[in-house]
Structures are given as structure tokens and as C-alpha cells.
Amino acid sequence: MRLSAKRGQEISIFVQCSGGPKAGKTEKLQSAWDTQWDENGIAAIPRGYTASLILSSTLVNDVILKLGCEASGWTIENKTQDSDAFNILSCRTSTHWGVPAQDIKYGLTSNFYVDGFDISLNDYPLTLTIKQEDLLEQLNIYVWWEIK
């Protein structure tokens, strides 16, 4: 455990989990966080609150999201760069998503027609981007699916 005070405003307590990816590399953790908070405009404690709990993106990605998604048959690949102040995750599953072809006649002169399709969600993963746009806003999760 390490303690850090930022400009006399708050005290940060850093707790390292056993076996984490930064094991033995935490000597400059406080200064790295202070720099990241300053450069990205992130408040360690948002206005209107008296405390906050900040979890590392590695813990959120590798433990919470990854294990939760794997239990549902999805795999998660972390696409986040070390310098990113947000998370990008690629999500795959072995299931297929399909829509059957439809040719529905309605009224006297109208047809509703859709070409059917069957797409492997392993070949075309969903992408999640998790970030906070503004200090005063809630966290946003963007999901998109690109088929090329």
C-alpha cells in the first residue's frame, strides 16, 4: 500500500493486488497518476462528492468484464494502449446472429422485403469503448459493430 497527497487537496491510497501486472513497478505510481489526472482533466474526487474509489482499468478489464463475459460465452480482448485515458475492448462469441429472409405482402400493392443474413460474432466482434467525456458527466459506454 502506498499513500500520496496531491496538492494538499486529497490523500490517495494505492493498494496493489497480489499478482497484478504492475507488481514491483509501483515506485512512481503516484506521480504517474497525478500527471494523468492533470493532462486528461480528471478529478480524483468529482465536485459534489467527498471521496471516490478508482479501480485500475486492468482490474476492470481482466477481472470484472473478462470473467463476467466469459461466463456468458464471450471472449474479451483488450485493445487499449498504455497511453489511453479510456478502455477499448473487442468482444467475440462463437454464436451467430441471423435474420431470416422476409417477403411480406401487405395491402393491395405493397411488399416488405428483407434479405436474410447469418453473421458470426467471432468474425465480426463488438467493440466497447468506455470513457468519461467530461469531469461532471457520468461514464459513457460506446458499443459499435463494424462489418467490412
Predicted confidence pLDDT, tens digits, the chain (148 residues): 555 555 556 666 667 666 666 666 666 766 777 777 777 776 777 777 777 777 777 777 777 888 888 888 898 888 888 777 778 888 899 888 888 999 999 888 888 888 998 988 888 888 888 876 665 666 677 777 777 6
| pTM strictly above 0.85 | no
Q: Are 91 and 74 in contact (CB under 8 A)?
A: yes
C-alpha distances out from residue 24 to 14, 79, 106, 134, Å: 13, 24, 69, 33
Residue 61 contacts by C-beta under 8 Å, 6 or more apart in sequence? 76, 78, 80, 87, 89
Residue 79 contacts by C-beta under 8 Å, 6 or more apart in sequence? 88, 89, 90, 127
CB atoms inside a 10 Å sphere around CB 128: 19
